[in-house]
Amino acid sequence: MANVRGVELVPCHTVAGQQKGDRTNMAENSKSAEATVLNTKVLKKLKGAFQAFDTKSDNTVDIKEIGTIFYSLGFFPTQADLQKFTSEVEDERSGYIHWDRFLPAMTKVLLEDKFPPISDELLLQAFEVLDKEKRGYLEPEELTNYMTKEGEPFTQEEMDEMLTAFTDEEKKHIYYKDVIPHLTLERKM
Amino acid sequence: MSALLFLSKSSAIRAALLIQRWYRQYVARLEIRRRCTWNIFQSIEYAGQQDQIKVSSRNYCKSVKTVTLITHRNLISHIFRENEICRDVEWERYFCYKSIDVPDSYTGPHLTFPMTFCGVSKLVEAFKHKQQLHARYVLQILGETWRLLRILPNISHLSSCHTKEITICGDLHGQLEDLLLIFYKNGLPSTEKPYVFNGDFVDRGKNSLEILLILFGFLLVYPNDVHLNRGNHEDHIVNLRYGFTKEVLGKYRVHGKKILKLLQKIFSWLPLATVIDHKVLIAHGGISDTTDLNVIARVDRHKHMNWSVDDELKKRRRLAGFDQSYGERKKPDSDSDPDSLIPSVQMVDLLWSDPMPQNGCIPNEVRGGGCYWGPDVTEEVLGRHNLQLLIRSHECKQDGYEFCHNRRVLTIFSASNYYEVGSNRGAYIRMGADLVPHFVQYQASRTCRDVGWTERSALQALRRQLFVHKSDLISAFREFDPNNTGIISPSHWASATESVLKLGLPWRVLRPQLVSSTKNGMVDYQEWMKELSITEPKLEVTHFLLETMYKNHSNLETIFRIIDTDHSGLISYEEFRQTWKLLSSHLKTEISDDVIANLAQSIDFNKDGSIDINEFMEAFRLVDLSGVTPL
């Protein structure tokens, strides 16, 4: 069995759901072999992340939340990765994913270490590639150009948010070396 | 050359991809933290609310018992005065403002009646500049409002129209900044700009009275275009606990009591619901499977209690010698109902219920009144009345609004930053003749994404909860530590904490932010308990008493205020003793007279032997001396 990475997790319980709904024991439901591959600690973390988005208390989550679930578990999938994952586990285009299909698919992800985290150094290198003249910063227009035209483009909203959060107020530049610790500090939470 | 360009282009793409991936992860984590913080606030709020309703209703009965013990006739008449056989004319004389003079030194706004648009705008401006309206004018506005409300029906019917949109606002909870923000963005109410305000105007925020005066002012000027629905907080018992009573008495020391009495009448006369085009129902809480608008339209709304009291109350009142006969003494020219002050199930459901995802209809135990209703009930009730949408408030939503039940139920909440700065946005609805709701969101604060600050507040509130349950926590920890080593595992710590606090929070995850005393990954709970400490109180009391007081801080205050019959803010030593007796029987613990006497002694008594409630409550301040500060 591969070394299962200790995953960071910040799950949320829906309080109302706990008081009103009748939650079936998920661990009991999954009698598949994959369930026994994961140790209880990791299983609990997956369960917690899943339950946080199971707003209808029926062991399903909206596919739109899959990205957030992945991120909360410490994975860094691309949008393409997410789409592939979703298409494999979605319940017949219902827009929802059931725990019974989620668990084996997630187990595979964990065992194969499919979406490893990105180190700070890699992130710094990435910024330096874009900063061709090695000024130590990027102009907002440059960053916008890259983020909205290349890779998996940002929406206008995402771009505006990023600029608001990371642009230095006085100089109007993005000093990426200062931004990186901010991003990685979040990860250690 | 071209190969180089190609290479650099593809590495740029890879770099961009990497940064995008990182950023999306960052945003997702922020969102999760925000949700977690949200759940902390919600769970503490509901836990507190549940307790409050139980204590309030029980104390209502117990107060009667206490009354017979100490034969405190003032208490009786205070609590049951709503059934006095005063005619309205006599009440009007009592509330008369004419004898109150406005001194020359008064720098606030002067009002003329009948109210005009200019008059109300002037009032809004004055409140914006933090001026206070003179008691004379307050009573005048309230008097006029009371007179108007008495001729309004239980359910208002509006028609939408192509030239003007209706604006619908949810809970405001005394947050004047939000109301001013709405007026700023949307315009003041007028014939061209009709408004519906869906209850919970008061409590919690510190400008409940200003909000009421503004809303009543506009109601007086545009009675056909401004509609107020009653919320569960438009109730004098709820106000005792959640701050409105305190606000009024603090601002109007001489006339506060009269103002509160008049407000009590006004609240009971507030309409219950609004219907637009016979298609959209607007009510504060929601519905139940028995909701029938035809029945609701016919009740005498001012004669019914707003909240749920069980039959116990009626029984106890009879035992205490107060049967409902005082209500039976009829007014000569009216047909008063001998069952005054009984709860109306239809009304309670309308003002207290919450939607739930599952089908069915079950009692709302969290709130202690109303029910939880499911999507099937929504379909049935809306279908039965030929309605297409239910708009309600009553629950705080992160984005200010939220649909549920297949978009047939819409929650609208207009108090932004309700729990803390940054906790949520407020919103209001604009609706035209097509009856499609459009939303406008806002947040009355500088920074919107300040999750860190809100989070720290949530954790602070949580630490307070942990502190007040110290004794129970230690017992729970000891169960996992039979050899009394003082150390337990993090998962045992989490189970024990949840079993005591019952907040349904992810304790394992929160642990690093709450507990710093860990040894080799284990929790040193004895060390931790010492961390959660408070400053030296000015009173010499045992820890048990201290803990009891903290745990029951709000209950204590509520009881004090019920006993403080003349709303003076002072209670006598005897009343103080009775309060503690009441509390100790509620808690099923023993607090001896000696202990109470010592407690009373160590309080800085005013010379006349009475205790100032506010001073007493302020004597305690929980300061977190632990070194654990979150990011």
Domain locations along chain A = 2-111, 120-183
- What pLDDT does B5 receive? 55
Residue at B354: amino acid letter: D
Q: In chain B, what residues touch A123 (CB-CB under 8 Å)?
A: 18-19, 22
| Percentage of chain B exceeding pLDDT 70 | 68
Looking at per-residue confidence, does B36 or B350 come out higher?
B350
Give me the mean pLDDT over the B385-397 stretch: 96
Q: Is the pLDDT of residue B200 over 60?
A: yes
**Token match 């187990």: residue?**
A107
Beta-strand pair B518-519/B195-197: unpaired
The answer to whether A161 contacts B20, with C-beta atoms less than 8 Å apart, is no
Give me the mean pLDDT over the B62-82 stretch: 34
Domain with CATH 1.10.238.10 in chain B: 452-626
- What pLDDT does B59 receive? 44
Nearest CA in chain B to A153: B20
The answer to whether A130 contacts B16, with C-beta atoms less than 8 Å apart, is yes
Structure tokens that stand for B422 in this block: 């940054």
Beta bridge partners of B410: B391, B403
**What CA–CA distance (Å, rounded) separates B117 from A124?**
61
Residue at B115: amino acid letter: M
Domain with CATH 3.60.21.10 in chain B: 89-318+341-442
The answer to whether B372 contacts A123, with C-beta atoms less than 8 Å apart, is no
Chain A with chain B: Cβ pairs closer than 8 A:
134
String of DSSP letters for B406-435: TTTEEEEB--TTSSSTTS--EEEEEE-TT-
- What pLDDT does B8 receive? 67
Nearest to A152 among B20, B42, B366 (CB): B20
The answer to whether A76 contacts B21, with C-beta atoms less than 8 Å apart, is yes
- What pLDDT does B11 receive? 82
Nearest to A151 among B20, B29, B46 (CB): B20
- What pLDDT does A183 receive? 65
B106 close to B126: Cβ distance less than 8 angstroms: no
- The answer for B240, left when phi > 0, alpha when psi is -120 to 50, beta otherwise, is alpha
- What pLDDT does B462 receive? 76
Give the pLDDT band of residue B602 (cuts 50, 70, 90): low
What ipTM was reported for this prediction? Answer: 0.71
What pLDDT, in 10s, does the model give residues A50-67?
Answer: 877 776 678 888 888 888
Task: Find residues 492-511 of chain B whose CB sits inside 8 Å of chain A.
Answer: 503-506, 509
The answer to whether A15 contacts B504, with C-beta atoms less than 8 Å apart, is yes
Q: In chain B, what residues touch A130 (CB-CB under 8 Å)?
A: 12, 15-16, 19
Q: In chain A, what residues touch B39 (CB-CB under 8 Å)?
A: 12-15
Asked if residue B114 has a cis previous peptide bond (ω within 30° of 0), the answer is: yes
- Identify the CATH homologous superfamily for domain B89-318+341-442: Metallo-dependent phosphatases (3.60.21.10)
Chain A CB within 8 Å of residue B448 CB: no
State the nearest Cα–Cα gap between B130 and chain A, in angstroms: 33
Question: How confident is the prediction for chain B on average, in pLDDT?
Answer: 76
Q: Is the pLDDT of residue B230 over 50?
A: yes
Of B526, B488, B527, which is closest to residue B508 (Cα–Cα)?
Answer: B488
Q: How many CB atoms lie within 10 A of CB B175?
A: 24
Q: In chain B, what residues touch A127 (CB-CB under 8 Å)?
A: 15, 19
The answer to whether A13 contacts B39, with C-beta atoms less than 8 Å apart, is yes
Which of A20, A83, A96 is the best mutation test for B, with the most CBs of B within 10 A? Answer: A20
Nearest to B25 among A11, A76, A125 (CB): A76
Name, in order, each residue with C-beta under 8 angstroms of B9's C-beta and a sequence gap of 6 or more: none
Looking at per-residue confidence, does B474 or B537 come out higher?
B474
The answer to whether B24 contacts A71, with C-beta atoms less than 8 Å apart, is yes
Evaluate whether the domain defined by A2-111 bears CATH number 1.20.1250.20. no
Chain A CB within 8 Å of residue B356 CB: yes
Look up residue A138 and give its DSSP letter. B
- What pLDDT does B544 receive? 58
Q: Is the pLDDT of residue B354 over 80?
A: yes
Compute the residue count for chain B.
631
Chain A CB within 8 Å of residue B35 CB: yes
Give the pLDDT band of residue A3 (cuts 50, 70, 90): very low
Beta bridge partners of B411: B392, B402
Of B10, B590, B368, B475, which is closest to residue A151 (Cα–Cα)?
Answer: B10
Give the pLDDT band of residue B167 (cuts 50, 70, 90): very high
Q: In chain A, what residues touch B501 (CB-CB under 8 Å)?
A: none
Question: How confident is the prediction for chain A on average, in pLDDT?
Answer: 71
B456 close to B484: Cβ distance less than 8 angstroms: no
The answer to whether A186 contacts B29, with C-beta atoms less than 8 Å apart, is yes
Q: In chain A, what residues touch B36 (CB-CB under 8 Å)?
A: 10, 12
- What pLDDT does A83 receive? 85
Nearest to A150 among B13, B29, B362 (CB): B13
Give the pLDDT band of residue B321 (cuts 50, 70, 90): very low
B505 close to B498: Cβ distance less than 8 angstroms: yes
Residues of B designated as active site: 233
CATH number of A120-183: 1.10.238.10
Q: Regarding the domain delimited by B452-626, which CATH topology (the fold level of the hierarchy) does it fall under?
A: Recoverin; domain 1 (1.10.238)
Nearest to B506 among A11, A129, A158 (CB): A11
**What CA–CA distance (Å, rounded) separates B73 from B172?**
37
Looking at per-residue confidence, does B351 or B529 come out higher?
B351
The H or E element that residue B446 is part of is none
Give me the mean pLDDT over the B333-353 stretch: 65
Give the pLDDT band of residue A155 (cuts 50, 70, 90): confident
Beta-strand pair A96-98/B401-404: unpaired
Give me the mean pLDDT over the A13-33 stretch: 35
- What pLDDT does B247 receive? 92
**Token match 């029906």: residue?**
B153
**What CA–CA distance (Å, rounded) separates A166 from A175?**
8
- What pLDDT does B123 receive? 94
Structure tokens that stand for B63 in this block: 């107060």
Give the pLDDT band of residue B601 (cuts 50, 70, 90): low
Q: Which of B7-21, B342-356, B552-566 has the lowest mean pLDDT?
A: B552-566
Give me the mean pLDDT over the B56-76 stretch: 36
Structure tokens that stand for B332 in this block: 């000569």
Q: Is the pLDDT of residue A116 over 90?
A: no
**How many separate helices (H) and strands (E) can be counted in chain B?**
25, 19
